[in-house]
């Protein structure tokens, strides 16, 4: 089966959707599946050159969109007309197309070519229909409704299936925009298992943060973005900090919106700035070392359709302390490897207090449950097998 993924960017700083696409490609048996990627990244971009998956990049060069040009609306949208032209010329080479994400030119190019193109296609919204965005960004949501009428709406309403990663995402996305007539399907994601020498990985992480030393820490690892609730986490940490003098907080991830400066001021105002560490984006052994060495993983997101970082924490056998807006919270909580709270500072302060009151036996039990939950629900080969079956069914349905 020949599969084409269309995605706005394959830069790892884009978070979970990027990871999901790459890991799907890597886990598909080469003798049965051929996976290609089309993206709006510049052809010379480092993230494109480093990929092990055949990738076609159609964005303008970095030199053409440097400085103030990056703020132009069509540049932010990712306008790259070469993508639509390439899709028209090459669509017949693929058995099925997967559109990953919305609200960028990749989705527009996909709509232009796929709706009447004859090749079956599915869409993964990756949480981009969640009602939280309407509440947080009402003006942008009005603009998206206008865009929905001629682009995202026809793209999703004509898809063979719209793939939601959880039942909760499926339900919360209904009627996000009008008209809404999609063929819904749930197909869970996952992540790769954790490999490598644990001691070496932990040493690699601590070596990147000498100020942390050998202190215990809680780990946030995701994009630094308002929807992730970093401000909630800092406020909750300040509540428990004086009672747990040997515990620090690590906030790891790329600062995509320039929010870090405000968060640093908040931490300073609350008197915990010297106990919060900001290593930036972590990859490879350093990332896995961060997971392995933490007391628990924390994610107080206001919106999270899946949360691959949660699955990664479970793979490392670490308790996940997450908000009830992370849409796999029920599955993780049912497995016993998680505690959950509302996405408020008060809720997370209570959550941290509850976790820190656990005795050693109770924490070990949570760690074992976290690992077992990963293996049973979120190990990537299981998820990819289910997605592959869904794609084969889409092809069969179209041909019958």
For the chain, which residues make up each domain, given as ranges?
2-190+380-399, 198-378
pLDDT of residue 21: 92
The owner of tokens 């001021």 is 265
Q: In this model, does residue 64 exceed pLDDT 90?
A: no
**For residue 275, what is the DSSP state?**
G
Please give the full DSSP string across 227-258, using - where no structure is assigned.
Answer: GGTHHHHHHHHHHHHTT-TTEEEEEES-BSSS
Yes or no: say if 315 and 201 are a contact pair by the CB < 8 Å rule: no
Q: In this model, does residue 9 exceed pLDDT 90?
A: yes
Q: What is the CA radius of gyration of the chain?
A: 21
- Tell me how far apart the alpha carbons of residues 315 and 373 are, in angstroms, rounded to a whole number: 8
Assigned fold of 198-378: Rossmann fold (3.40.50)
pLDDT of residue 39: 97
pLDDT of residue 12: 85
- For helices 230-241 and 345-356, angle between their N-to-C axes, nearest 10 degrees: 50
Yes or no: say if 335 and 372 are a contact pair by the CB < 8 Å rule: yes
Query: Around 230, how many Cα atoms within 13 Å sit in the side-chain half-sphere?
Result: 29
Please give the full DSSP string across 101-167, using - where no structure is assigned.
Answer: -SSSHHHHHHHHHHTTTSS-EEEE-TTTT-THHHHH-HHHHHHHHHHIIIIIHHHHHTSSEEEESSH
pLDDT of residue 242: 97
Yes or no: say if 282 and 297 are a contact pair by the CB < 8 Å rule: no
Yes or no: say if 295 and 316 are a contact pair by the CB < 8 Å rule: no
Mean of pLDDT values over 308-319: 97
Yes or no: say if 204 and 282 are a contact pair by the CB < 8 Å rule: no
Q: Which residue has the higher pLDDT, 357 or 137?
A: 357
- Tell me how far apart the alpha carbons of residues 248 and 272 are, in angstroms, rounded to a whole number: 9
- Tell me how far apart the alpha carbons of residues 363 and 296 are, in angstroms, rounded to a whole number: 10
- Tell me how far apart the alpha carbons of residues 107 and 104 are, in angstroms, rounded to a whole number: 6
CA 156 vs CA 124, 148, 288: distances in Å: 9, 9, 36
Dihedral sign computed on CA atoms, order 18, 22, 23, 24: positive
Token pair listed for 213: 């030393």
pLDDT per residue as tens digits for the range 107-145: 999 999 999 999 999 999 999 999 888 888 999 999 999
- Asked whether this chain's domains 2-190+380-399 and 198-378 adopt the same fold, the reply is yes
The owner of tokens 């179209």 is 398
pTM of the model: 0.92
| Average pLDDT score, the chain | 94
Please give the full DSSP string across 292-318, using - where no structure is assigned.
Answer: HH-SEEEE--S-BSS-HHHHHHHHTT-
pLDDT per residue as tens digits for the range 148-206: 999 999 999 999 999 999 999 999 999 889 999 999 999 989 999 999 999 999 999 99
Which residue, 89, 95, 88, is CA-closest to 115? 88
**For residue 78, what is the DSSP state?**
T
Query: Which homologous superfamily does the CATH classification assign to the domain defined by 2-190+380-399?
Result: Glycogen Phosphorylase B; (3.40.50.2000)
């Amino acid at each position: 089966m020949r599969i084409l993924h269309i995605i706005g960017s394959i830069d790892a700083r884009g978070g979970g959707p990027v990871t999901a696409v790459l890991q799907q490609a890597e886990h598909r048996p080469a003798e049965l599946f051929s996976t290609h990627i089309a993206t709006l990244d510049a052809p010379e971009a480092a993230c494109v050159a480093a990929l092990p998956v055949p990738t076609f990049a159609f964005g303008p060069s970095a030199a053409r969109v440097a400085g103030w040009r990056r703020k132009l609306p069509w540049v932010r949208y990712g306008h790259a007309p070469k993508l639509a032209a390439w899709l028209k010329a090459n669509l017949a080479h693929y058995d099925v197309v997967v559109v990953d994400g919305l609200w960028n030119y990749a989705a527009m190019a996909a709509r232009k070519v796929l709706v009447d193109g004859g090749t079956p296609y599915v869409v993964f919204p990756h949480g981009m229909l969640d009602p939280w965005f309407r509440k947080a960004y009402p003006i942008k949501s009005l603009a998206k409704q206008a865009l929905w009428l001629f682009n995202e709406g026809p793209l999703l309403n004509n898809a063979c299936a719209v793939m939601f990663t959880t039942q909760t995402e499926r339900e919360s996305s209904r009627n996000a925009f009008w008209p809404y007539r999609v063929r819904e399907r749930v197909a869970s994601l996952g992540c790769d298992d954790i490999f490598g020498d644990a001691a070496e990985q932990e040493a690699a992480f601590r070596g990147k943060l000498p100020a942390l030393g050998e202190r215990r820490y809680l780990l946030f690892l995701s994009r630094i973005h308002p929807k992730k609730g970093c401000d909630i986490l800092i406020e909750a940490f300040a509540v428990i900090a004086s009672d747990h003098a040997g515990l620090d907080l690590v906030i790891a991830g790329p600062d995509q919106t320039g929010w870090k400066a405000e968060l640093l001021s908040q931490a300073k105002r609350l008197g915990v700035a010297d106990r919060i560490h900001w290593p930036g984006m972590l990859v490879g052994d350093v990332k896995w070392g961060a997971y392995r060495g933490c007391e628990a993983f924390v994610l107080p997101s206001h919106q999270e359709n899946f949360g691959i970082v949660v699955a990664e924490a479970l793979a490392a056998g670490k308790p996940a302390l997450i908000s009830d807006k992370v849409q796999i919270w029920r599955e993780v909580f049912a497995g016993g490897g998680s505690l959950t709270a509302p996405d408020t500072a008060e809720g997370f302060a209570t959550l941290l207090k509850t976790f820190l009151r656990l005795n050693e036996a109770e924490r070990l039990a949570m760690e074992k449950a976290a690992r077992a939950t990963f293996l049973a629900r979120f190990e990537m080969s299981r998820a990819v097998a289910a997605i592959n079956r869904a794609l084969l069914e889409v092809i069969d349905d179209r041909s019958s």
